């Protein structure tokens, strides 16, 4: 059957989806195990993230990191001052990073895109992207 994990050059879409799904499940399990170690586990994950980004940055290929914070209830958090009017990401020490977050109303998605200046100009001028932005 084409699409199995054996020959990626002939992989069909469902095989690719299955491969990515398995990788995500394994990463979530591994991360949960590391996070159960407390602060040491958190530091291990942060260091691994920074190291992976440095390896990607040093590689002779373009790489992009994507994540989604959609469906996390950031706008429901109340630390005693009331619910937030707006939430955002803190500064990320990475390049080519895209993070999706729900908007406050829950009827749209904000895309946080970190690119170098040259790529950002191209990104902002892309007509397909402009058609989906406000």
pLDDT of 17-67, one tens digit each? 888 889 888 888 887 887 788 888 778 878 887 887 777 777 777 778 788
- Dihedral of CA 111/112/118/121: which sign? positive
- Integer CA distances (angstroms), 64 to 29, 56, 57, in order: 23, 9, 10
Q: Residue 1: its pLDDT value, please?
A: 36
Residue with more model confidence, 102 or 61: 102
**What percent of the chain is helix, strand and coil (3-state, nearest 5)?**
45, 10, 40
Contact in structure between 96 and 106 (CB atoms under 8 Å): no
The predicted model scores a pTM of 0.56
pLDDT band at 13 (very low <50, low <70, confident <90, very high): confident
């Amino acid at each position: 059957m084409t699409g199995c994990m054996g020959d990626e050059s002939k992989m069909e879409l469902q095989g690719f989806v299955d491969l990515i799904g398995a990788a995500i499940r394994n990463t979530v399990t591994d991360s949960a195990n590391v996070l159960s170690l407390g602060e040491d586990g958190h530091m291990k994950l942060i260091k691994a993230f920074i190291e992976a980004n440095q390896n990607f940055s040093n590689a002779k290929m373009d790489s992009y990191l994507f994540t989604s914070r959609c469906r996390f209830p950031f706008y429901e958090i109340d630390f005693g001052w009331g619910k937030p009017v707006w939430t955002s990401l803190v500064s990320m020490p990475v390049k080519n990073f895209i993070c999706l977050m729900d908007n406050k109303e829950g009827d749209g998605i904000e895309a946080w895109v970190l690119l170098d200046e040259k790529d950002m100009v191209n990104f902002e001028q892309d007509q397909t992207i402009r058609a989906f932005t406000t």
